[in-house]
Amino acid sequence: MKNLLTVTSSIAMLVSTCAFADLRISGYGSVIAGKTLGTVDDPLNPGQTRDEIFTADFYDVGQYKNDLTFKAESIFAVQAVMDLADNFSATAQLVAKGVDDFEPEFDWYYVTYQASENLRIMAGRRNIPMYYFSEFSEVGYAYPWMRPPSNLYWWQVTQFNGISAMYDFELGGFSNSLTFFYGNEYSDDNVEMLYYNKLYGGNARTVNEFWTDITGMNWNVSGDNFDLRFVYFTNDRDRETIQQDGSIDPYTPFSQTFLGLGGNVSLNQFTLLFDINMVDYDDDVGTEFPTYLLSLVYNWGDYQPYISYSKADHERSKVPTEDLEEHYVLGFGLRYNFLPSAAFKIQYDKFVDQGHKPTGWAYHGDSRAISFGVDFVF
């Protein structure tokens, strides 16, 4: 109740602060429950078993175990857009997540300048446009599944502070949008990296993750029955693992390159969604992460049954290593649009860990999970 009152008062403050500007309020949310369905051999403790653990959200470490929980993925968000002039606006988004005990946080805040009919410039904090669904990955109402597959959307950094320039144009009878972006992200107290430190028996006080000089572009092309996005960006990466005595573990910074193609294609009553990506590290071993998603949705009135398959692999191009981290998620589900702005969903996921057990790369473990809930917008 205390956190709910904090969210309410924060919204009231946001609205009152903007009383002298033209203000538009919108929002979204999800109330989701879920659990895993059994036990599994503990991949990090041979000879022992534990509850299955299904990680639905790697960034915030939202997980399902055998006890039913509403906290792993439930979320409430309010967005305010203030029109300060005909061509200038400010946007702020307040988010409260169950995994954070619904503590409210401004996770987006940026200004937008409409330089011309086709050119828009934004400066502030937003999501990094990595994947096709990255910029609205938490808006459950925007896609058919319970969530975008977590073993694709698994990076420890998802947002950045920077500037973007977007140019819209027509080419060959298709709508095009070309965006260039630059920024940095200093993720202090990174939840995901601290989780992995403790998973492997570490006792760090905190882990700080730094992504700097994030420089890239994406290109959207859409027609009557398709929408495609190509993305490319590079950045430098560094990390501080701070131990309880204040010492910092040695770490060698490196740069990474992200390349991806995603989109959706409408085929009569079917919709095909896909995302194909490659991440390359400029490190000593040539680390590579090829990932992909394929999903087929059947559109039947207010109902959308679907199937999805996502695969992630970990390779090293500079050393003769084959078996490292590898896993896939197979999901089946149903979306029912029972209101114009709300949808009920139920989904079954099977996570299969194909990592190399002798070297500790099968650290996720297999899992099966069922989740259900309501996504809404307003």
Where are any strands of DSSP class E within 86-205? 88-97, 104-114, 119-127, 159-171, 174-187
The pLDDT-based confidence of 132 (bands split at 50, 70, 90) is very high
The pLDDT-based confidence of 13 (bands split at 50, 70, 90) is low
| CA distance linking residue 231 with residue 219, whole number of Å | 7
pLDDT of 200? 85
User: pLDDT for 156-211, tens place per residue?
Assistant: 999 999 999 999 999 989 999 999 999 999 999 999 999 999 988 899 999 999 99
User: pLDDT for 99-128, tens place per residue?
Assistant: 999 999 999 999 999 999 999 999 999 999
Exposure string of 79-99, with b = 16+ CB inside 10 Å and e = fewer, is bbbbeeeeeebbbbbbbbbbb
The bridge status of strand 39-41 relative to strand 49-51 is antiparallel
| CA distance linking residue 214 with residue 237, whole number of Å | 10
| CA distance linking residue 30 with residue 294, whole number of Å | 24
Kindly give, in sequence order, each residue whose CB lies less than 8 Å from that of residue 29, ignoring residues fewer than 6 positions away: 74, 75, 76, 77, 375, 376
User: pLDDT for 204-260, tens place per residue?
Assistant: 999 999 999 999 999 999 999 999 999 999 999 999 999 999 999 999 999 999 999
